[in-house]
């Protein structure tokens, strides 16, 4: 039997390609999860700005529910500074600002602005 030249180099190259693809796939899966949770935060913000439009502010019970829903998505260090907590008159601007840390490493900032319609 005669040895074929370059056979080992082909195996090493294929192994390195498989390793690189595995690293890329794992990085994608980790970041895709964070993007999905950010989209959940967007939907929660939309839901509460619509409530605020009819109430004219973020009420205390809604604030508690909002923080609970945000925590369920993995958000920590939640700050609602800049949000309209005092009653706004009809046609006045209302603001919902959400800041926090997602999964302990990604900073999230979400700002929704609308008009009071109560």
Structure tokens at 28: 């994608």
Tell me: pLDDT of 88 over 80: yes
Tell me: pLDDT of 21 over 60: yes
Question: How far apart, in whole angstroms, are the C-alpha atoms of residue 95 and residue 83?
Answer: 5
- With a pLDDT cut of 70, the percent of the chain lying above it is 95
- Sheet of 106-115: strand order equals 75-79, 93-102, 106-115
Tell me: pLDDT of 6 over 70: no
Which stretch of 7-11, 63-67, 99-103, 109-113 has the lowest confidence by average pLDDT? 7-11
Structure tokens at 46: 């939309």
**In CATH, what class is 37-115?**
alpha beta
- Please give the average per-residue pLDDT across 37-45, as a whole number: 95
């Amino acid at each position: 039997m005669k040895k074929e030249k370059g056979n080992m180099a082909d195996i090493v190259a294929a192994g390195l390609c498989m390793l690189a693809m595995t690293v890329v796939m794992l990085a994608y899966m980790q970041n895709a999860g964070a993007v999905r949770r950010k989209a959940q935060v967007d939907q929660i913000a939309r839901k509460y700005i619509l409530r605020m439009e009819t109430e004219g502010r973020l009420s205390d019970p809604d604030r508690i529910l909002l923080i609970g829903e945000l925590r369920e998505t993995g958000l920590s260090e939640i700050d609602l500074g800049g949000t309209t907590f005092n009653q706004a008159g009809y046609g006045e601007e209302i603001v919902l600002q959400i800041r926090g840390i997602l999964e302990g490493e990604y900073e999230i900032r979400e700002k929704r602005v609308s008009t009071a319609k109560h």
